Every structure is written in C-alpha cells, then in structure tokens.
Structure 1
Amino acid sequence: MEGPLERIEKEHGTLSTLQKILLSTDGSVTSLLEAIEGEEVMISTLSQNVVPADAKTAEELEIRPGDQVNHRIVELRNSRTREVLIYAVSDTPLERLEPGFRSDLMRADIPIGRILKKHAIESRREISHVGVRGSDARISRIFGIALNDQVLFRKYRIIRQGKPFISIEEVFPERSFRMGSGVFVSAPARLHLGLIDLNGSLGRIDGGIGIAVQLPRTVITAEHSPDLIVSGGTPPSARRAGDTAHRVLSSLGMCGGARIHIRAVPPGHVGLGSGTSLSLAVARALCELSGMPVPVRDLAMMTGRGGTSGIGTAAFESGGLIVDGGHSYGPGGEKQEFLPSSASPGIHPAPAVTGLNFPEEWEILIVIPEPLSTVSGAQETAIFRESCPVPLHEVREICHEVIMRLLPGVMEHDLDLFGAAVNRIQEIGFKRIERERQPLHLRELESCLRNAGAACAGMSSFGPVVYAVSGSGLDRLEAAARDLLGKKQAAFIRTRADNHGAIVRHL
C-alpha cells in the first residue's frame, strides 16, 4: 500500500533521507535537528495566545468548540546562525495541563519535546497528514524563499492517556535538509533612502542610507555542471546572472561551469537593488560550490557592484539599517567624478560605517507602480553629471538628519523621530533630484501614504518604488494608495526589515 512519503515522491520528486526522518519521526524533532545541525536549537516565539477552539481545532483535540486552547506559533532556529529550520504551530487544551507543564509551556522559549521530557509525560505521536504545498507570504518571509515555493509539512497529535494532548503542524522548505552538491542562496531586497554627499567639498562623495527588507527576495540555486547554464528569471536577469558567472569563474580561475536556476528576482531598475542582490547571489553560490571563501566586499568589486552606494553589498552581507561612508574624491581619490555604481567599475564598495538592527515591529509597505518608469544606464549617468555637485548646505542638513534623528530613532525604536528624518531627506540633496525625475503622481502617492497614517514615506533610489513605514498596520495605507492610483496598476508588498542578510545553504 502506498504511504504518504511514497505519494509525495511520486508526485513531487525524491525526498532526502533527512526529510523522510523529519516527516515521519515519532520522537523529538528538536533533538533530531540538533543532531543534524551539530548546534543547539533555540525557540523563537512569534505569538502565543489563549484562544477559544474553533470547530476544526476542537475536532482535532476532541474537545468542545469554545474550550480554551494555548495557540503557539514558533520558529526552531539554529542558535549560532539564527537560521530558521522549522516553523511550527501548536494548540494545547488548557483543561488537560498540569500547573507545572502549563507554566513551562507559557514561558514560550522551551521546545515541547523538552517539556514532555522534563515532566516525564508518557505519550505517543500520531501523524495525521504529511504533504506538500506552496508557501504563503508569511512562510516565504520567514524562510527567505520565493512565494509559492514548495514546503513540506506534517500534522500530528501527541496522545496522552488515550486523549489528544497537543496538536502540532511543522513546516520546512522543500530545499532544506538535502545532502546533495548544490547551493541555495536567498538575498533580501533593499530600500535606498538616499545618497548623503554629492558635493565633495570634504574630499569624499556618495555615502548612502538604506534598509534590507525580507520581501521581495532574490532566490537562486546552483549546482556543478561541466558547462555554464542559466535558467529561470526574466531575460535581463538571466543575462546578468550569466555575465556575472562568467566574470567570477574567470576572476577566480575556476574550472568547469555551473547550472544556475533563478527561482525569484525582483524587477530590475525600480529601486530594490535587484542587480546587486542577483550578482552577489550568483557569485556567492559559485564560491560555495568551489569551496573558495571570498569576502562579500571582494565579490561586489569583482562583479562591478557598489561603486557608488555600499547599501546593497551590506544588505546582502548582514542586513539591517545601513549607513555607508562613501568614497574618496578628487586627485588621488577612488573617484574623480560623480557617477552611479553602474558607471563606476573597479571601485570598492563604500564601507558601512553604521549597521543597526531595524525594528522588526515596524511594518513596511512597498508599492511598485506600473508601467515602470525606470532610470538606468546612460540616462542615470547623465543625471549625475548634470545635477552634481548638489548644494553644500543640503548635504549638511542630510548629515544633521541622519545623526540626530534617523539613527537615534532606530536605536530607541522611536518611529516618529525616524520618520521625520526620512520625510525631510526626500526634499533635499540628491534625493530631491531623483524624485523630480519621476511622474508627479508618485510624489502624490508619498503624501497620500503619510496622510493615511504612515510615519514616513519616500522613493527608493531613482524609483519608481515608493515605500512607507508604519507601526500600526498597513491596511489603511494600502487602501489609500489604491484609491489614489485608481485604474493605474501597481504591485503591493507587505514586509519588514531583514536583519540577517543573505541565507546560504548547501543542498
């Protein structure tokens, strides 16, 4: 008789031995993960609430609808790398809990298997369902995978004294826990809040402010191949991946090729840094395949990224809020004129002078208006040459905003302070010039989002992406934006900051 694992393999492809064990074990998943990872596994609780059981939960737990259950959503993470290994949702009827067990469960930071062991509770696991489904936005954000990427899941009950004691669902990406020869790289997008100094009177130019975001993401896989083969993505992104791969293979003297598959990539030249994230993802994957540890900053220079702003490179490396210190300028300096990154090959990425965790409780709405009014290539270079140097007093004001409002706002979780700085930066320096190059309705969209309750709104890079940051939900902001845009098409992405950078895993 065909079992659930055989059915999955028949419909979706071969499972690894580790995946089969995780989907079918009747023991502690936490202990298994620690054996697999060689590291302690920690619990990160996303939410825990006592709620009335709905009809489905009541049926699973054999209780009455409306009975109180402890509803807990957690991530099981590698304690050293902080990588999310498994996402789990559990429901426990309070009426079946002894006081000591209930106290430990409500502490939220102890794996259920360890609580069972601590209280010497005799139980068994009864698996009710094992399957495959597409990831939703939340799962995609948590694991750093593309929307609708396949995830494996299982549902089971812990039975004690003949009655369901806990109902649990565990989820992990289909690409996880494979012991093959491939590499998976998932890199965050970034929002570029502004360039700091395009005046140069102090002998330095550029300098940037940016935030890495959990969604959208660049997601690729790579495996050994005698030839270089690129699949997936859009034609421009596939060409970029191929060009990057050729450059990296040549620069590092690597033999052979690779099979690179682009599983997800944000649209190019809209203000999300997709060119840098894709180039660095490809470069990092090739280095991992070859066992050559190359620093991210060196990869950026090798692939021609970061010659003006270091935000994309730092977002890939560590995430968070980044402020970079620009480049030396003038005779003997790294740069002799004002140019965008695309026209600055051979320039080291700007050093990140500040990297802070951006408050993850602050939500971010990204709006990508269509049709895309992009600025890139020769047009972008011409704007730099025509518009610089910008007035020194505006550069000084940007620095004042960054030091006295933007950075303290992030460090003290003061959204109003942070938002005031971002809103002012939209009106001065090179950001003012960038915004003037986009249609009027995008500036109206920024005002609309602020009026709807956003602490700040702005345009990322040259746009057309517009973003807003809020501490009180995004429903009103999105509704207001849709009303303003009317029949104009736009994509809306709800996200938060990414404080970790790229995820790299061997498959």
Structure 2
Amino acid sequence: MRSSRETLIEKQLMTSVEITTGSRLHFGPLSVAAPAGGRFGGIGLMIESPRIILSAETADHDSFHGDDSSVRRVTDFLRRIRQAMPEKASPAVSITISESIPSHCGFGSGTQLGLAVGRIASIMAGEPTLPLQTLARRVGRGLRSAVGLHGFDLGGFLVDGGRAQPDQLGTLVSRMEFPDDWRFVLAVPKQAAGLSGEAEQSAFATQPPMPQSLTGDLCRIVLMDWIPSVLERDFLRCSEALYTFGHAVGDFFSRAQGGVFAHPRMAEWAAVLRRRGVQGVAQTSWGPTLAALCDSDAMAQQLTRDFTNDPAWNDCSFNVVAPLNRGASVVIR
C-alpha cells in the first residue's frame, strides 16, 4: 500500500506548471534613508508587456531551455531558492523560458523572474499557496521596494507604504484597478541600461537622505491627486500627477543618474512630448525607459508611429503597452 508521501511524490512527478507575469513600472520611492517611520515605499503599476512566460515539468534531472542570459538567471534563482527550502526539497525540473523581460531597463525583471521561479519550486514541492513574504525571502527580493512583489501577486496600480523594520516587506496601502482603456507608450534608447546590482547599491549608499519636506510633497501628490484621479478616471489629473511625482523623484536622484532622467535622449523626448501636450511622462525605476500616459490605444499608436517613422529618433524604440490588472497567471496541470 502506498504511503501518503509516495502518493504526493507521484503527483509531483505528473505536475507541469506555466507562469505568465508582466512587467512593473516603478515611478519612485516615497522615502530614502528616513530617520524614523516607513522606509522606501513607492508607486507603481503592472503592465502586460514585456512579460515572462515560464513552463516547467518534473524531470529526471534539471534542464533549462531559452536564451543564455535567461537560463543563467533562472539557474541562479533556483539554486538560491533550494538553499532556502531545506525541509521541502524541490524535485528536478525542466524549465522553458518562452518570453523574458529585458534586464536593467526599469521593468523589474529580476523580481518578476525570481518570483516566477520561486512559485514553480514551491508548487513542485507541494506548497502551491506559499505566502508572498516567504516566497520573497527565498528569492531574495523586496529589500527596498515591494511594488514588484505585490504586483506579481495582484497586478494593478499599487502604493507601497514602506517598511518600518529591515526584515519586513513594504506594506501595501492601496491597490486599484487602472483604467483598462488607457495605454502607455514606452520609449527606451537602444544599447542603453539603467543602474543595477553593485552600481545601484552604491547609488543608494551615497545618496543623502530624502528631505522630509519632499516625502511630504510626494505623499500629498499620491493621496490628494494620483489616487483620486485613478479612481475617478480623470486622465488629465492623473497625467499631471505622474509627471510631477516623477520629476520630483528624478531631481532628487539627479546626482546619481546624471539628471532628472537617466539618459539625455529621454530628457529630450520628455520635453518634446510636453510641448506636444502629452503631460504624463515619467521614468520607471533607474530607467532608461520612459513611460508616456495616453487616454486611448488610438492616441498611443499614433504617438508611436510618429516617433518610429521619424529618422531623428531611430536610436530609440517605442512600444504601446496596456495595464495589467491581475496577478501572475499560474496554470497547474
């Protein structure tokens, strides 16, 4: 007669999982090196693309299929996750990376990929409902902002209230549906990347504390303008809140990233957009990607065509993306 553990293992050997998650736009923190109270926090939004699609099934030995960079990252995450879950050994898996998010462009690719691999490992180990905080610890993400973590879990427009203790995740204080018919045009210079890894850590380490007055201004924008504009679908008010918030954060980090925007071409693009009447434009994370808010797909497509067809902008790429108002898709077969 089979034991319950043998039955569980047999089920695991029949398991296949597919996870799809979008990208995270992060428009900046609310507090940096605060002497007291919540630290970091931030505002962000999940978008449908670029996205990650991972499929996995139990196997006799680990194997990975995809582009070399993604395979290296998945292998590293899986090793780290297994070291953090000694009591529930994850069986060998075959993982295929069908789609991936570009690294160091401001999309939160590391967090989304790490959480996807972590969720696969937990499902294969018989822990399909592992809490987000435990998953984040295993993956080693969320050390500052938790926007990407909550975005993976829930999608939507997110306000992270920061964390009071070093070992906590940032507290999700608001999560809202972003208007489905609004769009973003993403612009990114070709052959450019934002700060990451040791360079990012150094930038935070050498950055002076954010003045409490600036934290107060940012919180006022979020509470009095940004959240109400999303709830009321007030496009113009939301656009101005996005720009004002992003510009203030960019100015604070200007010494670390070389200006309000991390790349001079993106500073030019923002200025051109503002002259054309497109008010809602901001950098995501350390950039270099900028996101311009549009009130319809038609507006976004026209804006993209205008710049794509202009030879003066052939050193940049432009894409239209939709908001993602749901968490990562997890399909278990």
Shift of 1:205: 1.4
Shift in CA distance, 430/374, structure 1 to aligned 2, threshold 3 Å: closer
- Structure 2 CA distance, aligned partners of 1:445 and 1:453? 12
- Structure 2 CA distance, aligned partners of 1:423 and 1:479? 23
Which string of whole-angstrom CA distances, capped at 9 and with x for unpartnered residues, describes residues 8-29 of structure 1?
xxxxxxxxxxxxxxxxxxxxxx
Which string of whole-angstrom CA distances, capped at 9 and with x for unpartnered residues, describes residues 39-71 of structure 1?
xxxxxxxxxxxxxxxxxxxxxxxxxxxxxxxxx
* From 77, 80, 85, the counterpart of 1:247: 80
Residue in 1 aligned with 2:280?
456
Residue in 2 aligned with 1:233?
67
Which string of whole-angstrom CA distances, capped at 9 and with x for unpartnered residues, describes residues 289-346 of structure 1?
2321211222112111111011110110000000011122xxxx42xxxxxxxxxxxx
* From 310, 320, 324, the counterpart of 2:156: 320
Within a 5 Å distance, the mapping from 1:187-336 to structure 2 comes to 187-235=21-69, 237-252=70-85, 253-292=88-127, 293-328=129-164, 333-334=165-166
Contact kept in structure 2, 1:189 and 1:272, CA below 8 Å: yes
Q: TM-score, normalization: structure 1?
A: 0.58
Q: Which has the larger radius of gyration?
A: 1
Residue in 1 aligned with 2:8?
none
Shift in CA distance, 309/380, structure 1 to aligned 2, threshold 3 Å: same
Shift of 1:432: 4.0
Contact kept in structure 1, 2:102 and 2:109, CA below 8 Å: yes
Larger helix proportion of the pair: 2
Contact kept in structure 2, 1:209 and 1:311, CA below 8 Å: yes
Contact kept in structure 1, 2:43 and 2:147, CA below 8 Å: yes
Residue in 2 aligned with 1:20?
none
Amino acid at match of 2:145: S
- Structure 2 CA distance, aligned partners of 1:359 and 1:324? 19
- Structure 2 CA distance, aligned partners of 1:246 and 1:431? 39
Shift of 1:438: 1.8
Residue in 2 aligned with 1:167?
none
- Structure 2 CA distance, aligned partners of 1:480 and 1:452? 12
- Structure 1 CA distance, aligned partners of 2:307 and 2:106? 18
Contact kept in structure 1, 2:21 and 2:112, CA below 8 Å: yes
Residue in 2 aligned with 1:474?
300
Runs of 5+ unmatched residues, structure 2: 1-13
Runs of 5+ unmatched residues, structure 1: 1-179, 335-346
Residue in 2 aligned with 1:150?
none
Amino acid at match of 2:171: P
Contact kept in structure 2, 1:301 and 1:349, CA below 8 Å: no
Shift of 1:246: 1.7
Within a 5 Å distance, the mapping from 1:329-348 to structure 2 comes to 333-334=165-166, 347-348=167-168
What is the percentage of aligned positions where both structures have the same residue? Answer: 27
- Structure 1 CA distance, aligned partners of 2:311 and 2:163? 39
Amino acid at match of 1:289: M
Of structures 1 and 2, the one with the larger relative CO (CA 8 A, separation 6+) is 2
Shift of 1:199: 4.6
- Structure 1 CA distance, aligned partners of 2:157 and 2:206? 30
Amino acid at match of 1:395: T
Shift of 1:479: 3.7
Shift in CA distance, 429/494, structure 1 to aligned 2, threshold 3 Å: closer
Number of aligned residue pairs: 311
User: For the aligned residues, what is the CA RMSD?
Assistant: 2.0
Which string of whole-angstrom CA distances, capped at 9 and with x for unpartnered residues, describes residues 104-128 of structure 1?
xxxxxxxxxxxxxxxxxxxxxxxxx
Contact kept in structure 1, 2:282 and 2:291, CA below 8 Å: yes
Which string of whole-angstrom CA distances, capped at 9 and with x for unpartnered residues, describes residues 341-374 of structure 1?
xxxxxx4431211100111111111122211132
Contact kept in structure 1, 2:308 and 2:317, CA below 8 Å: no
Amino acid at match of 1:474: A
Which string of whole-angstrom CA distances, capped at 9 and with x for unpartnered residues, describes residues 385-425 of structure 1?
22220222211111110011000000111111111111111
